[in-house]
Amino acid sequence: MTLKADLFFSFRSPYSYLAIGRYRAMAEEYDLDINLRVVWPIAIRDPDILFTGNPAAPRYILMDSFRTAQHLGIPFRWPRPDPVVQDLTSREIAAEQPLIRRVCRLGQAASRRGKGLAFADEVSRVIFSGEVDDWDKGDHLANAAMRAGLDLAELDTEAQNDATALDAEIEENQIALEAAGHWGVPTLVFEGEPFFGQDRVEMALWRMEQKGLKKR
């Protein structure tokens, strides 16, 4: 029997990047359907939380992301450009956010096609691996979409023409994440139980195996 789970994911979260490939591999190895549910980064959906948090948090997250990537053997560099237009010194967030809104809408459009997990994995590698600069230009996103079995031009057309509906779906994802008992990403929700963080991937697998998860 195929088990089902939701993965709440942000295209700006380094921890989401460090988890997505492992969840994709899990879904390919096991009889498991993981539905990717895109949420806006915290800087977009609730900047007040971002600004009132401990000022040491961004420095720690960056340090921890690098060492976690080293530990897992995953290439990592902070994105160039950052998907969120933000002054990292003052933490001020720009009013216009073309990059993150585009990529989140693309991700949600991919989820509509049942290929959100693959798309998020491929695009996150382009954004965070450090293998390319200017991930938003040239054919980087087109090639990532192609590797996920999708056509970027088709996704972009949908993202532009159906932006309002896609944004509403992303908002619904955030509501569902909070209803499941968490607020951060990556969070896998299985049978109502949330598993938050890149360090809960193996625990999520353990729980699903308890519930009968088998290899394909």
CATH of the domain at 125: 3.40.30.10
One-letter amino acid at 63 equals M
Tell me, yes or no, whether 124 lies in a domain.
yes
pLDDT confidence band for 160 (50 / 70 / 90): very high
Residue 47's pLDDT is what?
A: 65
pLDDT by residue (tens digit) across 91-130?
A: 788 888 999 999 999 999 999 999 999 999 999 999 999 9
**In which element (H, E) is residue 4 found?**
strand 3-9
Respond yes or no on whether the N-terminal peptide bond of residue 186 is cis (omega within 30° of 0): yes
Q: Which sign, positive or negative, has the C-alpha torsion 23, 26, 28, 32?
A: negative
Tell me, yes or no, whether 79 lies in a domain.
yes
Tell me, yes or no, whether 215 lies in a domain.
no
Tell me, yes or no, whether 14 lies in a domain.
yes
Q: Which of the 8 DSSP states describes residue 188?
A: E
Q: How far apart are CA 12 and CA 14, in angstroms?
A: 6
Q: Which domain, by its residues, includes 56?
A: 3-210
Structure tokens at 138: 């040239």
Tell me, yes or no, whether 201 lies in a domain.
yes
Number of structural domains (the chain) is: 1
Helix (H, G, I), strand (E, B) or coil at 196: strand
pTM of the model: 0.94
Q: How far apart are CA 167 and CA 169, in angstroms?
A: 5
Torsion angle defined by CA atoms of residues 7, 8, 14 and 17, in that order, rounded to the nearest 10 degrees = 30
Burial class, 148, CB count within 10 angstroms (exposed 0-12 / middle 13-18 / buried 19+): buried
Whole-number average pLDDT of the chain: 94
Tell me, yes or no, whether 216 lies in a domain.
no
- Beta-bridge partner residues of 188: 7, 195
Angle between helical axes of 116-128 and 14-29 (0-180°, round to 10):
140
* More confidently predicted of 49 and 184: 184
pLDDT by residue (tens digit) across 48-60?
A: 665 556 777 778 9
Picking from 189, 21, 2, 15, the residue whose alpha carbon sits closest to that of residue 119 is 21
